[in-house]
Amino acid sequence: MATARTVNDKRRQVFKHALEKPYTTVWPSSSGETQTEILNDLCTALQPLSSYFAHTRRLSKAHRRTLRRSAKSNTNSQPTDPAQPSDTELKGKKLLDFVCIGINSTTRALERQAQRNTQHVDDLVLVVVCKGDVEPQLVAHFPGLVHAARMAKPERREDTVRLVGVGVGAEQQLVQAVGQNRVSVVGIRAGHVELDAVVEKARAGCAVPSVPWIGMDRSGPVFYPVCVRELHTSAPIISKKQATAKASVKVPVHVPAKDGKRKLTSATTQPGKKAK
């Protein structure tokens, strides 16, 4: 027996066409092997960060525990001396100076870099984006932003920032390496031996990001071909009887009464027909 829910769940596929904007950004191309090598080397280089973040979480828990004890006893108890960080944890702390983690922080770093026309110690030289694990709208601005950062330094365009988009499953590998809940984007600065090796591998195997309409000199008008985008969506399946009932509307009409006065009532009409 068909229920109201099963009837409403019946849908048909609908294709809609719309004009696409000509200013589309294309991600730099690179082979799957190059992406895998860069991702594996990057995860290996970022391993000390996991130990350092675990150490900071232990210190934070110990500090909160001390504050709770002090509040209960109404005394100003001094926190106990924490354990000294290990060599790996110290290495992870120093590694933070050469790494920028997250979409927002990496975007802000690239924006500052695009506004400077000279080389700076905080400039990023490589941006790795987990393109296959996040929504495209969240990372669609990186090709244009990386290109703008490159164009800001015309004398060193080949040595400036590169962009690598990696596939599905890359974020989980970075999460395990870094020790954070989400690692969608990683920006790398120059100056670290292990990270510099990853940067050189990206420069050798990945194309340079290019957006033609940003920072390019144009001698005359440029015409782009028309791009048509096809959207795949769905619509509920409505029978002819349901469509007729849905098209019917009620309009107010004046009906003469027996006493000579006119009273307002409603009548059902269909498109193209007059109300009776």
Amino acid at 265: T
Indicate the pTM of the whole model. Answer: 0.67
104 near 112, Cβ under 8 Å?
A: no
Measured between alpha carbons, how far apart are the two ends of the chain, in Å? 38
Amino acid at 214: I
Q: Could you give the 3-state DSSP secondary structure of residue 151?
A: helix
45 near 201, Cβ under 8 Å?
A: no
47 near 173, Cβ under 8 Å?
A: no
| Per-residue pLDDT band at 55 (split at 50, 70, 90) | confident
pLDDT in tens, 233-256: 888 887 666 666 666 655 565 556
| Helix spans in 133-213 (H) | 136-139, 142-151, 170-178, 193-205
User: Quick check: 217 pLDDT over 70?
Assistant: no
pLDDT, the chain, mean: 79
Q: How many CA atoms lie within 13 A of 216 on its CB side?
A: 12
Beta-carbon contacts of residue 91 (< 8 Å; ≥ 6 apart): 48, 52
Percent of the chain clearing pLDDT 70 (strictly above): 68
